[in-house]
Amino acid sequence: MKLKSALGGVFATVIGVGITCATTPLFAEKLKSPPKAVKQESAPTMPLQKQEHGVPIIRKSQFEQPRLTPPTLHSHKHPLPKQNTLHDSTQSKLKAAAPDYAECNFDQFGFESGSTLVNHIKSVDPVCTYGFFGQTTTSKNALSPANMTTVLNAARSAAVNYKGTNEEGMEQLFLYIRAGYYHVSTNYLPEYSAAHQSLVKALISDFSRNSHMYDSSDQHGESLYEFMILIQNVKETALGLPIAKRLIDNYNQTRSESYEQTAAVNGGLGVLYFGSFNDEYKAAVTADNSIIDSLFSFIRDKKWILDTNRAWLYNNSGSEFGRFLGIAGTKSRAKFLIKQLLPQLDLYSPVWLNIAAQIDYHTSSECGEYSNVCGYKEAAINQILPITNSCGSTLKMRVQEMTAAQMSGICSTLATQETYFHNRLNTGNNPVAGDLNEDLLMIIFNSDQDYKNYGGPLYGIPTNNGGYYLEGDPSDPDNQATFYAEEADWLLPEFKVWNLEHEYVHYLDGRFNMFGSFSAPTVKVVWWSEGLAEYISLKDDNQAAIDTIKDGSTYTLGQVLDTTYDGFVVDRIYRWGYLAVRFMFEKHPAEVTKYLNAARAGNWNTIQTLYDQWKSNYSSEFTQWTEALAAGGGGDNKPPVAVTDGPYTGNVGQGIAMSSNSSSDPDGTITSRNWNFGDGTSSTSSNPNHTYSAAGTYTVTLTVTDNDGATGTTTTTATITNGGTPDYCAATGGGSYEWIANVMVGNLNNSSGAAEYSDFTGQTANLIVGNNSATLTPGFQSSAYTEYWSVWIDFNQDGDFSGAGEQLINGQSSNAAINATLNIPASASGVTTRMRIAMKYNAAANSSCGDIGDGEVEDYTVSIAGGSNQAPISQANGPYSGAVNSAISFNSNGSSDSDGQITSYHWDFGDGSSSSSANPNHIYTSAGSYTATLTVTDDDGETGTDTGAVTVTDSGGGSNVPDACANENPVTGGRLVAGDAACLASQSVIWLSIPGVRDHNSIAITTGNGTGNLDIEYSNQGWPNGSNNDGSSSNAGNGECIYLTGGSQYWGYIKVSNSTGGASIVVDFDSAACR
């Protein structure tokens, strides 16, 4: 990740940012350890979870140990098996004590208030409440000021009655409150009031005075941890100071056996960190310095922690101990105790380095007063990272521990990646003007723990992440671009440097694509920087991005282009950045070229103009593309199979018909084709006709792309010779009793006498693509006999008539002239080639070559031009009849296209509703006579229309939609729950989704109540846009109905237009009709 940090003008990148700080700190100071410029209390802690570039995977027993950011829980970069994260004893305790939680229906929170909301929060697994941290309509509705007041009061009551076992839902209530204040810190929600803050203070007081406040159980530890993070989030660190002190003092070997208790103590260290930026806290700690003595004793007397898997907590305490040098009222006491403590610690141990880093940052001029602190970094680096290596002149390494083979493997991996990067982005290997970052230095630690132990104090980088990149000032000849990384020790015995490929793309992008330093762009480029790094390193294999489309965390193209690091919304930055970059590369590569040209020249205004154009031109397409990508299964999508139907042969200057008709996609459709003919020319036609200008053997490449963006490629050859007509096989008839007397094909009308074979290739029949009439007349010496006709055309011009589709008539018979139709494929357009006609007595010729027996063979030349398309035939069937509010089944059976295929259907039911299904079901809400109109469109864009009469009788029923607006807040968008009515807000357009469509036989969408005249549209393929609708309804008033069967995709998408408030909507599955 690229962290937009001032850092004295350097460009910082963070990979896989940890979860305790939900927003990434912006450092305004020169890069030192630790940074202090930004009020870190504005960055609240997210729920305990692990992040790989941010996708939250709940791991409540993994803790993180950062150096320059608040003490956080350690989070490996992988989902460890449960048995590797908890002691067996802890597992059994948690399992035995787990309450019987209610099912998680998170969306319901958005419709609740009062005691209903409180009871729901308390009843669910705490994991269910993590959804409140997402930027969704549900979380916004649920975290309203009124609801926050209700929950704070409920939390106060629960705090008073708390028994240490979470029976009161204390942990869930804390998480809800934290989420609200987290969204305030990211400006997603407005500030809560002073009255809210008073309730928060009272809650902190109530819970801290509970008799179970310092219990040592695992269950209490979970609530206690959330409480300590809540104190940070609500910026009441002064109130948290005495609580943090007592937790630190109480920590012992018994409590260390509990991850949850350890996490709570670490939360107390976080209170100290955030407090260092809070004036009330500074006043409190100045008045009472005893917390410094507590930390001194903790580090001096509890070295036994280093022999456990809680060493990270011990090391974290060193940072907070040394941080008191930065507060005027605590500096003296801290300095006195540090001087006593440092000689008692192992030189260059993590805790020693953390304290030394604070000395260097806050009082560097006084380093001589401490033993071995002045110049400690260089000496420690030489000891901890002793190995150096290089990959040619552009890559250098300094590593903690690595074999020669492993270092060689890194060089090989990055060399391959660099070649792919340059080819994919057409850099020409030319750096942007003024970029002097000729090499990259990689600092690689031996493990995740080593990275966290040493990255901060040695290099001043935050380590609550998966790696860190500093571009520096690329125009400075003395600058050194550096990537700080860790070996993925959790993958052992597999060797891997975590995020190596992703981060190397950042280096290449900065050097070859982006003019100037990271701060140079005056437009938003986060989507590009992070999206490109993901796209180049992962290519089309990014299931995490597919999953974020499916889980509803969707963004428009405009929102993605406007992405910043503010609030650090991981899905938006990484997943949707990837999707936008991939979309532009796949669908609009010419626009990517424009973007790169502007970025390499630093023409940021041009890029802003491109953004504006893309938002206007491609937003709907992007949404449809992402939904199609998700519907196809993303990483599970099977690529299409490209087939050329080659090899091909031909002559110079002669058109060769090529075909991709045998290409296929096993789980979707082929949406585009690209031919490269090997002579510098290409085509996007399905079946092109190509002419070569020189003899030789050419490699012909066909690439097909499916509806999920996957591609398939194959090659064949085209052998081109000088010389004229190919050598065709000889053919002849026999006898003189019958012969071909006349041939009328296209403009050709040729009469001839008896012969066994006649070469009429000097005569040309001009044909067109599509149907051509032919009249073939036999001649007889005496009596007429039954003659069988065969006609071949050498479409692929390979000198024979054995190619697919080259026999057009096979055995049509008569004792007189026959009238036949020659159907010429579109792939033959522009071809001039040979036609062979054979007439045989008593049976059809079984070959185009040799002696056919009694009859005659004639050859002609044909020249084929593009023909006119035949319109498809629409068959609406009918008449139809049914009752009001009951489904009527319509069908298009019999619709056809004589020279192609029907590609779309559109039904207009005559009541303002429509459908794009071939055989839809529709419900009429009023009795009467209607005309249903079916319009079909073929693959050439031609249409055919037919109508059917519909009679609807009054069933005596009517709308039965519950009035959700009577007791629920209106929704402005989001996810619907089947069977539950939702109140629609007053809004011009409301976008709604419904999951699980493909798991049911039918879906019924009904609206009613209120006043106004709303309309609804529905699609199972993506957001409705008028062209992809499966159904729509636009009756007078708010009574609308769409009823459909056979949805194939998981998600259904609904667009509500012109809602003026007061109307309700409900979705029902497997019903007989709308309500």
Q: CA 641 to CA 666: how far, in whole Å? A: 8
Q: Is 746 left (phi over 0), alpha (psi -120 to 50) or beta?
A: left
Q: Taking every pair of C-alpha atoms in the chain, what is the biggest distance, in angstroms?
A: 131
Give the burial class of 279: count Cβ atoms within 10 A of its Cβ; 0-12 exposed, 13-18 middle, 19 or more buried: exposed
Cβ–Cβ contacts within 10 Å for residue 214, how many?
18
64 is catalytic: no
Residues 313 and 261 sit within 8 Å (Cβ to Cβ): no
Annotated active-site residue in 487, 501, 503, 1017 = 503
The closest alpha carbon to 567, from 186, 147, 1055, belongs to: 186
Q: Which two tokens stand for residue 996?
A: 């699980």
How far, rounded to the nearest angstrom, does the alpha carbon of residue 112 sit from its chain's CA centroid? 31
Determine the length of the chain: 1075
Mind spelling out the 3-state secondary structure of 984-1040? ECEEEEEEEEECCHHHCCEEEEEEECCCCCCEEEEECCCCCCCCCCCEEECCCCCCE
Q: CA 887 to CA 876: how far, in whole Å? A: 17
Residues 1023 and 1055 sit within 8 Å (Cβ to Cβ): yes
Q: CA 177 to CA 508: how far, in whole Å? A: 43
Q: CA 507 to CA 501: how far, in whole Å? A: 10
Mind spelling out the 3-state secondary structure of 410-453? HHHHHHHHHHHHHHHHCCCCCCCCCCCCCCEEEEEECCHHHHHH
Q: CA 893 to CA 902: how far, in whole Å? A: 12
Q: CA 165 to CA 160: how far, in whole Å? A: 13
What is the phi/psi pair of residue 1055, to 5°? -115, 125
For strand 682-683 and strand 670-676, is the pairing parallel, antiparallel, or unpaired?
Answer: antiparallel
Cα→Cα distances 1021→135, 1045, 1047, Å: 24, 14, 9
Q: CA 946 to CA 910: how far, in whole Å? A: 13
- At 871, which helix (H) or strand (E)? none
Q: CA 754 to CA 759: how far, in whole Å? A: 13
Return the percent helix, strand and coil in the chain, to nearest 5.
35, 25, 40
Q: Which two tokens stand for residue 560?
A: 């993605």
Task: Give catalytic residues, as residue numbers.
Answer: 503
